[in-house]
Amino acid sequence: MATPDHDAIIVGAGFSGIYLLHKLREAGFNVLLVDAAAQPGGIWYWNRYPGARVDSQVPLYEFSLPEVWQTWSWSERFPGWEELRAYFNHVCDTLDLWPLMRMSTNVDSARFDEDNSIWHLQLGGGDTVSTRFLLPALGFASKPYIPDISGLENYAGEWCHTARWPQQGIDLEGRKIAVIGTGASGVQVAQEAAKSAKNLTLLQRTPILALPMQQERLTDLAQKREQKDYPDIFNRRKQTSAGFDCQSLEVSALEVDKDERDAHFEYLWQRGGLRFWYHNFADLLTNREANRHAYDFWRDKVRARIADPALAEKLAPIEPPHPFGTKRPSLEQDFYEIFGQDNVALVDLKETPIARIKTNAIETATGEIECDLIVFATGFDAGRGGLIDMNITGRGGLGLAQAWDDGLRAYLGMAVAGFPNMLFSYGPLSPSGFANGPTSAEIQGDWICDFMVWLRDSDIKLFDAETQAEQGWTEMVAQAGAMTLFPEADSWYMGANIPGKKRQLINFPSLSGYAAVCDDVAQNGYRGFATVKSTNKEPFAQ
Ligand code: NA7
């Protein structure tokens, strides 16, 4: 029987990959991490457009490992991409992970070898490497989506997707810039571009329901004082439905009177961040009437900042474009004010859709938007895109793209039947898109590490998700989604942003609920996984 080069290969150096690398190395596995990026950081390597910053406040968006947080401090409450990258370097230094990391290396394909129960990976540059376990940790947003707009190939200006911003940067000063898309990335890049562009035109299909960030500078001293609470905060974030410091109230928005309701909305508004989404009334995301109260509060707050009524109706319409929070809210700092500047314009693509791109302009139904830079802030093929691009082939030559032809399926959002010895973290049908990244990465990372220790201790060389267990999980995620308002929006949560992608809720809507099920699975002998014992008692690499 062939012996693999490694016990495990992790693909991806973002939060989930780095955490897994640390845990598995500590548990004594021979593990390697591979990433196409030149530096660790995952999403923070690729999304380095001006203004890119995280939407979770300090200290939620960091590892709970004391040796890491005790030796680090942030300069802002919502840190930007440069600081996040520096943080990843600090993590790799502190945990001494660099020797196990192979950066600037793409995984071109991965093939499961049924005879030997190992994975063979073809790396960019021609190398091959083998592993008992394959652990893709690609994040949910690793495959950018660029809509098919005719004429782009003839465009003479510069263009790029926000997640493929050139590493050397783009100078926005004096440019004529068109930004397509008003998700979190569109809002962030627009706020920054408005400062120095000659003209900035934001092309909006659906208004973003953006929340006030309430950014703050942070001092070392204040952070050191607050660090005494970090262990509690890190412990608590694991018990909440979205991995933050708290979760939704237990009371319905309909059980309290208007004054009380508005007082809570106002409290959330003033505290800033995504709290208006995750610490709101119990039925925000399940009851249309409750949701409408939140929308109306949001709308009135935003409209009060926009002088022109026509513009206000486009950015914060009287009637909600979708229930509040069923598309990802973004955080903003002065997003609604930039439209008062002479150099900034908004184009409503529902009224005037893009017809084509010309050599120096975007042509819409009513005219041309002259531009020398087009920014596609048009999102991602979330959940599946990066995994499909890895060209993963499981049993019987089945490709992952083929396996997901009729929609995403996965047991625990981590394993796909027919793809043995593979577990992905942060994947489809896990809570990833609904959860704070590091919390999710630690919960899944701990579970995967425990599972691998159990496999080693049990002399198991092969596991595969049982079809029935996978089907049960996939249906359960759909049922959980059906109890919410999420299906009412055309969002990436529903797979609705990618033409041809099956409409289904792609994430499980509770991190704490998910952690409880995963624990239960572990306590019951990892039910739902079929396993095969090793014959030579040496299933792992030497
Ligand atoms: P998002 O949130 O998917 O936003 C993409 C934006 O691009 C959104 O406003 C879309 O409008 C717009 N879009 C997509 N396709 C088109 C076409 N064909 N024409 C015009 N506009 C289009 O991506 P982000 O990068 O902003 O954020 C991704 C996640 O990162 C975010 O949710 C956080 O978790 C962090 P639509 O709303 O579909 O009408």
**C-alpha of 128 from chain center:** 29
For ligand 1, which residues put their CB under 6 angstroms from it? 141, 147, 162, 180-186, 205-206, 328, 349, 377-380, 492, 497
**Residue owning the nearest CA to atom 16 of ligand 1:** 378
In a 3-state reduction of DSSP, which class is residue 385?
helix
**Residue owning the nearest CA to atom 31 of ligand 1:** 184
Q: Measured between alpha carbons, how far is 184 from 53 in angstroms, rounded to an integer?
A: 10
Q: Let me know if 450 is exposed, middle or buried by CB neighbors in 10 A (0-12, 13-18, 19+).
A: middle
**Other Cβ atoms closer than 10 A to 223:** 17
Backbone angles phi, psi at 416, to 5 degrees: -120, 130
Name the strand (E) or helix (H) holding 303. Answer: helix 288-303
Q: Which residue, 84, 6, 20, is CA-closest to 440?
A: 20
Q: Measured between alpha carbons, how far is 159 from 373 in angstroms, rounded to an integer?
A: 5
Instruction: Out of 180, 189, 202, 205, give the residue to mutate to test ligand 1, the one with the largest number of ligand atoms within 8 Å of its CB.
Output: 205
**C-alpha of 374 from chain center:** 24
Buried b (16+ CB within 10 A) or exposed e, 456-482: beeebbbbbbbeebbeebbeebeebbe
Per-residue pLDDT of the chain (542 residues; tens, 9 = 90+): 689 999 999 999 999 999 999 999 999 999 999 999 999 999 999 999 999 999 999 999 999 999 999 999 999 999 999 999 999 999 999 999 999 999 999 999 999 999 999 999 999 989 999 999 999 999 999 999 999 999 999 999 999 999 999 999 999 999 999 999 999 999 999 999 999 999 999 999 999 999 999 999 999 999 999 999 999 999 999 999 999 999 999 999 999 999 999 999 999 999 999 999 999 999 999 999 999 999 999 999 999 999 999 999 999 999 999 999 999 999 999 999 999 999 999 999 999 999 999 999 999 988 999 999 999 999 999 999 999 999 999 999 999 999 999 999 999 999 999 999 999 999 999 999 999 999 999 999 999 999 999 999 999 999 999 999 999 999 999 999 999 999 999 999 999 999 999 999 999 999 999 999 999 999 999 999 999 998 765 555 54
Counting from 1 in the atom list of ligand 1, the atom nearest the Cα of 433 is 34
The alpha carbon of 179 and the centre of ligand 1 are apart by a number of angstroms equal to 11
3-state SS record for 170-227: CCCCCCEEEEECCCHHHHHHHHHHHHHCCEEEEEECCCCCCEECCCCECCHHHHHHHH
Helices 81-94/15-26 angle, 10° precision: 10
Q: Which residue, 86, 97, 11, is CA-closest to 44?
A: 86
The alpha carbon of 534 and the centre of ligand 1 are apart by a number of angstroms equal to 47
The alpha carbon of 326 and the centre of ligand 1 are apart by a number of angstroms equal to 13
**Residue owning the nearest CA to atom 17 of ligand 1:** 147
The alpha carbon of 374 and the centre of ligand 1 are apart by a number of angstroms equal to 15
Q: Measured between alpha carbons, how far is 33 from 135 in angstroms, rounded to an integer?
A: 9
Residues sharing a CB contact under 8 Å with residue 269, sequence separation 6 or more, in sequence order: 211, 212, 276, 297, 301
Counting from 1 in the atom list of ligand 1, the atom nearest the Cα of 186 is 26
Counting from 1 in the atom list of ligand 1, the atom nearest the Cα of 47 is 25
